[in-house]
Structure 1
Amino acid sequence: MSEPIKVVVTGAAGQIAYSLLYMIANGDVFGKNQKIILTLLDIPPMMGVLEGVVMELSDCAFTLLTEVIPTTDVAVAFKDVSVVFLVGAMPRREGMERKDLLSANVKIFKVQGEALNTYAKKDVKVLVVGNPANTNALICSHYAPSIPKENFTAMTRLDQNRACAQIAQKVGSDITKVKNLFIWGNHSATQFPDCSNGTVDGKPVTDLVDASYLENEFVTTVQKRGAAVIAARKMSSAMSAAKAAADHVRDWWIGTQSGNYVSMGVVTPKDNPYNVPEGIVFSFPVEIKNKQWSIVPGFKINDFARSKLDITTKELLEEKEEAMAVCNADAKI
């Protein structure tokens, strides 16, 4: 057994966390030999609910879970933390404009970024799940300048999982045979789910499925899947989001299999192989070795794909501009 690592989940009394905490404590993320100290961060009104979550974690009798720490204090939560799941965020409410949502979340992720900067280990791995995830991750990294930018990521794995499920169902395949379907750009309705490099049991998806489906119904189905879940369930995706968060961090911690790449929202480096502007959090295909991700070069981007990448890039640049305006206004107060 390894020495325990400290893992933080924010929004810990919420629905996504309720599924995610089980996966973490059961060894599904960090492996069956990694002991965990689990810190649960939420706002004061949720502490009663959180008490019940702590009771359930205790009653599960997890052999890997050495301690559970419920708290409302970011200093307590982020002290010496190794991995952080930033699940909690201000949800978009009816009548709320995107700029209002960004403004509310800048305040949340500023506090968390500053706390990470002060208290966390400098090699901490941070996954942002709370939406707008890409720009929330960017803001969090902005306020944690002592932590490398590459240690902040946004979750697009849910979109990749959704894409793989759609293709598996379309061709009647076991989902384990579906490889290298990627999500480009933002975790929003502008994201581009891309099958042009994907395979099913080694055969190109483009040979198995009609192009008109891949460029129309498939794209819109994945883009709007979250809204469809809300319409059916009357609540947002929770179990599938938790599974995707677990998948994302497991691959980041343990590594990806050779030739089987995954989608992650990462802070775009200056010299990236797909000519995406520097300094936004953009989803790329990545491979991971020794807990370090790298963008996989060489995938074909046809004219249709490039047009989709341009749309999602534009949205992310606009989000960044709006969020940084809030940051700058806040700095002048």
Structure 2
Amino acid sequence: MGNPQYPALDERTLCALAVNVINTEAAAISALADRIDSNFAAGCRLILGCHGRVVVTGMGKSGHIGGKIASTLASTGTPAFFVNPGEACHGDLGMITRNDVVLALSNSGETAELLTILPLIKRLGIPLIAMTGNRLSTLARQSSIHLDTGVQQEACPLGLAPTSSTTAALAMGDALAVALLEARGFTREDFAFSHPGGSLGRRLLTFVRDIMHTGDDTPVIGLEASVRDALLEMTAKKLGMTAIVDGAGTIQGVFTDGDLRRLLEKAQDIHATPITAVMTRSCVTVEGSLLAAEAVRIMEQKRINALPVVENGRLIGAINMHDLLRAGVL
């Protein structure tokens, strides 16, 4: 039930308000493109030459945006952390060293807590990149490099709540992070090392050898086996297939659930039929050093659910879709 003290708004009005917010913020971000200039490039070079870390700071909503920017920088190859300027005034300023670069966010450029620590930053000779909406502000004028994130209007109809301005600052922070990522040659593998617990980390850091079945858990029979032997091995190992190897352990083929169904449709005697008569000789295999995500791609492309794992042609294990699912690779 609605609160009687608030006027009832119909669905169309509510949606129109939301669309106006999105359009206003989109325009604010779009306007930033014309301000990506030599100052932006100089900021990137300053950070790339930094031997310490990027210390991001800001109060209130700018502080929240600053925290996200610091996190994005850190996860994309640029060591960074966030310091609340209010706390910095009471001891946390010791977290900043002469080898660092400070990135300060303030839409007005006149935030009292930032201006309080500004002289100390300047005295230490620490480079300061300011991200403000007012290029004539104290913070902008005192900075080594200024990035203009000013907006024509906030999305808030009262023009009070930071909306477009915080969105613009966030976009500028992302632009910095991505430009630095590219400049450093940061790769997907580097990103995965920073996110080992995430799905991307698992996809990029998990190899077939990490999750494959080995030893007695590997479904395998010899060339002398019958289809009945293959069926018993597949049933025991529960991977939906068995590999067939010669006396040296070199894989010669595979026999799968699908092969068995096709065989039964022909009413062949599984006791008398040798496996060599019905096995798939040109079988698909993978090596243990292959990324598990690549094994998924191969299975999907070939429409198969299990793969023998080999090393120099010799069988060393097996893997199926359930293993990849349990490992979080799918």
TM-score by length of 1: 0.23
Asked which structure has the greater RCO (Cα within 8 Å, sep 6+), the reply is 1
Structure with greater Cα Rg: 2
TM-score by length of 2: 0.23
